[in-house]
Amino acid sequence: MLSESLIAKLRGAESVCVLTGAGISAESGVPTFRGEDGLWKKFKPEELANFDAFISNPDLVWEWYAYRRRIIQEVKPNPGHHALVELEKRIPDFTLVTQNVDNLHRRAGSNHILELHGNIERSYCIDCRTFDSDIDVKELKGVPRCKKCGGLIRPDVVWFGEILPLAVLSEAVSAASRCDIFFSVGTSAIVYPAASLPYTALEHGAYVVQINREHTDLSLSAHETMLGKAGDILPQLVEALDKHPRGGV
Ligand code: OAD
Ligand code: ZN
């Protein structure tokens, strides 16, 4: 059930910014990073998702990404992703900021997407920076090599210790600063700078709503935390807007 204040805010909203994390893809069958199903072969994401780990054991790190890519190829966007596509159609200024690298928002049909952490379906050579999109993760054993120079191929994702794509981040900060409502969906809200976006929104006077299966640090500051699955709650936002159209009486 949506609160009366959220329904009222939604009806009046010109600008909405949504930040998503691994939780929105969980219902599609993509494992989250943290929490019960978050561990892969007992490694924490911080141990694998960094450049040093890749250099010292490229096959292991590549295998983790290949494992995730194989899952992603087999799954489909879920009602949470689809609801965000519908929300985008109904809000004049809508920005979807995602920490996910799984491409599911794009496959669902969202348009204005800011990928803060890159995209796992792209890869590039660490030596000559040539992109290689034809890697077949079903066939491959171990890290692939660049066809041009023989360098190691890495996924085009942001690793711990690396800088986020600056233009993308600054667009996200701008969207968080100007929105009327900010939704933080399915993210543990602990990996910065993404985790700072809801606070940017709060500072600029937005109504901040968290949608998560459990409480996070953000629960202390958000105006509302809706506990439950993204795939159940997000479609309710669209229903509410259709029942009480924007600007209507
Ligand atoms: P996490 O795995 O840290 O958190 C997932 C969150 O989703 C948890 O808070 C869960 O409670 C919640 N959740 C699980 N299922 C859900 C559902 N069906 N509906 C709503 N919420 C649900 O994932 P992120 O916060 O995305 O970074 O992780 C942030 C970053 O850490 C990732 O982008 C990745 C990782 O290391 C990089 O790869 C750079
Ligand atoms: Zn190369």
Taking CA atoms only, the protein residue closest to ligand 1 atom 16 is: 23
Same domain (yes/no): 221, 126 = no
- Please check whether residue 121 is in contact with residue 103, taking contact to mean a CB–CB distance below 8 angstroms: yes
CATH number reported for the structural domain that contains residue 13 in this entry: 3.40.50.1220
Both 169 and 187 in one domain: the answer is yes
The CATH code of the domain that includes 66 is 3.30.1600.10
Q: Which two tokens stand for residue 128?
A: 């000559």
Tell me the per-residue pLDDT of 169-209, one tens digit each, with 9 for 90 and over. Answer: 999 999 999 999 999 999 998 999 999 999 999 999 999 99
Give the CA count within 13 Å in the CB-facing half-sphere of 228. 13
- DSSP of 215-249, one letter per residue? --GGGGTSSEEEES-HHHHHHHHHHHHHHS-TT--
The active-site residue, picked from 105, 112, 117, 215, is 117
Cα-Cα-Cα-Cα torsion 188, 194, 195, 201, nearest 10 degrees, comes to -130
Ligand 1 proximity of 118 Cβ (cutoff 6 Å): no
**For residue 249, pLDDT beyond 70:** no
Same domain for 92 and 57?
no
Q: By the 8 A CB rule, do 122 and 133 touch?
A: yes
Among 209, 233, 230, residue whose Cα is nearest residue 221 = 209
Best residue among 18, 96, 99 to mutate for probing ligand 1, ranked by most atoms within 8 Å of CB? 99
- Look at the chain and report how many structural domains it folds into: 2
Nearest CA to ligand 1 atom 30: 191
Mean of pLDDT over the chain: 93
Instruction: Tell whether 129 is covered by a domain.
Output: yes
- In this structure, are 140 and 231 located in the same domain? no
Q: Are 62 and 178 part of one and the same domain?
A: no
Report if residue 249 sits inside a domain: no
Residues 190 and 87 in one domain: yes
Q: Residue 183 falls within a domain, yes or no?
A: yes
For residue 248, being part of any structural domain is answered with: no
Q: Domain limits at 226?
A: 4-30+77-117+164-243
Same domain, 235 and 146: no
Q: If you count DSSP H runs as helices and E runs as strands, how many of each does the chain have, helices first?
A: 10, 8
Q: Which is the closest atom of ligand 1 to the Cα of 34?
A: 2
Residue 117 annotated as catalytic: yes
Per-residue pLDDT tens for 115-146? 999 999 999 999 999 998 778 777 767 899 99
Residues 136-160 have a mean pLDDT of 90
Q: Which of residues 157, 176, 209 is at a domain's end? A: 157
